[in-house]
With several copies, the nearest count.
Chain A
């Protein structure tokens, strides 16, 4: 079982992370992944320019602990052969990757479900905060979304 958790300013290399996760383990049948990107907040109107940059702040130390705990919970719940979670911090531009989650399992259902689980719980429990800078130079902290709370809550009741 390979676990890799990283909080970093640098971009990640998807192909390298994939081969690092799967290399040498011929019991892995599938790898599910999710890459979160900095997107324009709203595609209505001046669609290309609604955010100019996004800055990710975090709680150093606690972030890694929280991610480790989320990954441990996923490992208890699904038969996994490897998990990678990489979350970037610092200043990012539109279209930049923010987060990568990779889950490897013998069976695709376990890979898909655990990947979505990790993303949903990360969104509500890992101490990261986004601040947007708009084209006029103003800045604002991004509000938490109720839909993220609902997405996390459904894992409490799923079989």
Chain B
């Protein structure tokens, strides 16, 4: 089981701030691909530039996933 969080434009597009996923794939990239395959809104949300974090650290497609991980997906940041 992992926790997945969506932020900002992604969250608005997906209509949800997050979910739990029981049997995640081995890597972050595979997880992103499986989410993008869910349908139009998902494909669109994951079609642009999406940043990814695992356990609140920036990560990339190759980052492995483990039980209990917190995954975040979000658009390029615009703070400051």
Contacts and interface: CB of A to CB of B under 8 A. Distances in A.
A and B touch in the complex (CB under 8 A): yes
A71 B12 CA distance: 31
B74 interface: yes
Interface residues of B, dominant DSSP: mixed
Nearest to B5: A59
Interface stretch (A8-16, A44-52, A75-83, A120-128): A120-128
Interface in A125-159: 125-131, 141-145
A111 to B, nearest CB: 13
Contacts of A119: 80
Contacts, number: 75
A74 interface: no
A130 B78 CA distance: 6
A24 interface: no
A144 B77 CA distance: 6
Given A59-B74, A129-B77, A144-B75, 7 more contacts: A62-B72, A122-B80, A124-B76, A129-B79, A130-B78, A141-B9, A141-B78
Interface of B: 5, 7-9, 12, 51, 53, 56-58, 72, 74-80
Interface of A: 36, 56-59, 61-62, 65-66, 87, 98-99, 119, 122-131, 141-145
